[in-house]
Amino acid sequence: MTNHILTVENLRARFQTPDGEVEAVNDINFHIDPGETLGVVGESGSGKTQIFLAVMGLLAKNGKATGTVRYKDKDILNIPSRQLNKIRGVTMSMIFQDPMTSLNPFLKISKQMTEVLVEHRGMSEGDALKRAINMLDRVGIPGAAQRVHMYPHEFSGGMRQRVMIAMALLCDPEVLIADEPTTALDVTVQAQILDLLRDLKKDFNTAIVMITHDLGVVAGLCDRVMVMYGGRIVETGTVRDIFYDSHHPYTEGLLKSMPRIDTASEEHLFAIPGQPPNLQNLPKGCAYQERCAYVMDRCCVSRPGLFGFDDGRASACFREDGQ
């Protein structure tokens, strides 16, 4: 028996397009335990969002997911949406960079929040409203009792983000998937939202998936990290492993190219040469070969699998192969 709350095995997501099939998500395996925060990092287009849209049954119509997704012991990949709705937004919630993805612009916040509670928790309207106000208060919205009656557009960007988080937390989810929730926000507001997520973990043992391209956010919040490149996991490890003992050349490059606020600058920033790969037109072999400082002949012939080299550690690079 494990106590994994979410288990993903051999997950793939494919999109059919007029220009052919896009292999956006490939051979993804991971799990997450209660109270744990998993960071998912990588450049835009590396497949971060699609993994979790597949998990939540929210892929676009031209997309199809295969593999296994288990919420506790229950298989949830491709189950009918009537069944999925008992989990989605209730015990497993997802929040996005753009809060308007989850908010209805034409409905007052009060209506949007109480609806969920009345339906999934069988609460009375009155109790639901109390809980909604409570939740807005918890996420740091001043004057929640009045503002619960406002429309989404009446909130500032940072406040709208909090409203979305409050909505996602209404039913005390066991898993919160946060997809770049602070990318569009100022650092000052980002710091407030990150504190909120830390409290959630501490007070409710909520499992959190933090999808981000900001390694600073990962450093402050996450326990384990999954680095994505070209639709695949290229490295996994604890947050300390990734920051102090990275193995994959892409992870190393990403860490080196981050300008840091706590150090005086060198003449040149380290830059990873070239462009992120186009998933529709991946090279044969390793997806990172064109940008890799360690590229070998075999990297251009075959694709490295994910080599495990320690407990919970793996890197998709022939340098781990020891041959």
Partner 1 sequence: MNAIRKKKNVPILSVRDLKVHFSLPGKGFFGPERKLKAVDGINFDLFPGETLGIVGESGCGKSTLGRAILQLIPPTDGQVVWLGRDIVGAPHREMQPLRRDLQIIFQDPLASLNPRMTIGEIIAEPLVTHKPELGKDEIKARVKRMMARVGLLPQMINRYPHEFSGGQCQRIGIARAMILEPKLIICDEPVSALDVSIQAQIVNLLQELQREFDLSLIFISHDLSIVRHICHRILVLYLGNLMELADRDSIYAAPKHPYTKALISAVPIPDPEIERTKERIVLTGDLPSPINPPSGCVFRTRCPFAKDVCATDVPSVDTINDQHQVACHFHERM
Ligand X SMILES: Nc1ncnc2c1ncn2[C@@H]1O[C@H](COP(=O)(O)OP(=O)(O)O)[C@@H](O)[C@H]1O
| Closest to 10 measured CA to CA, from 80, 75, 98 | 75
Distance of CA 221 to the CA centre of its chain: 13
Q: Which of 112, 4, 13 is nearest to 58 (CA)?
A: 13
Instruction: Determine contact, residues 55/229, Cβ cutoff 8 Å.
Output: no
Q: Does the footprint of Mg ion cover residue 50 (CB under 5 A)?
A: no
Tell me the residue number closest to Mg ion, measured at CB: 49
Q: Which residue number, 135 or 279, has a Cβ lying nearer to ligand X?
A: 279
When binding is defined by CB under 5 A, the residue of 26, 46, 49, 114 that contacts Mg ion is 49
Residue whose CB is less far from partner 1, 35 or 216: 216
Give whole-number Cα distances, 33 to 6, 139, 219, 281, in Å.
Answer: 7, 24, 19, 36
227 touches ligand SF4 by CB under 6 A: no
Number of residues counted as binding partner 1 (CB under 8 A): 48
CB of 256 to partner 1, least distance (A): 9
Tell me how far apart the terminal alpha carbons of the chain are, to the nearest angstrom.
Answer: 36
Q: Is 5 in the site for partner 1 (CB under 8 A)?
A: no
Single out the residue of 117, 132, 177, 299 in contact with ligand SF4 (rule: CB under 6 A).
299
Query: Locate tokens 């064109």: which residue?
Result: 290
Beta partners for residue 220, in sequence order: none
x/- letters, 180..219, toward partner 1 (CB under 8 A): ------xxxxxxx-xx-----------------xxxxxxx
Q: Considering the rule CB under 6 A, would residue 48 count as an interface residue with ligand X?
A: yes
Q: What minimum distance in Å lies between the beta carbon of 194 and partner 1? A: 8
Judged by CB under 6 A, does residue 188 bind ligand X?
Answer: no
Least distance between ligand SF4 and beta carbon 284 (Å): 12
Rounded to the nearest whole angstrom, what is the least distance from the CB of residue 78 to partner 1 in the complex?
A: 32
Residue 296 binds what, of ligand SF4, partner 1, ligand X, none (CB under 5 to 8 Å, by partner type)?
Answer: ligand SF4
Q: Which residues pair with 12 in a beta bridge?
A: 66
Q: Residue 295, interface with ligand SF4 (CB under 6 A)?
A: yes
User: With respect to partner 1, which residue has the nearer C-beta, 56 or 159?
Assistant: 159
Closest approach, Cβ 198 to ligand X, in A, equals 23
109-143 burial code (b ≥16 CB/10 A, e <16): bbebbbbbbeeeeebeeeebbebbbebbebbbbee
Q: Does 236 bind ligand SF4 (CB under 6 A)?
A: no
In whole angstroms, the minimum distance from the beta carbon of 317 to ligand SF4 comes to 3
Taking CB under 6 A as the rule, does residue 177 contact ligand X?
no
Stretch that binds partner 1, among 200-208, 263-271, 280-288, 310-318 (CB under 8 A): 263-271
Name beta bridge partners: 315.
Answer: 235, 307
Residue 109 makes contact with ligand SF4 by CB under 6 A: no
Total residues at the site for ligand X (CB under 6 A)? Answer: 16
Residues of this chain that interact with ligand X (CB under 6 A) are 15, 17, 22, 24, 42, 44-50, 60, 62-63, 279
Residues of this chain that interact with ligand SF4 (CB under 6 A) are 249, 286, 288-289, 292, 294-296, 299, 304, 317-319
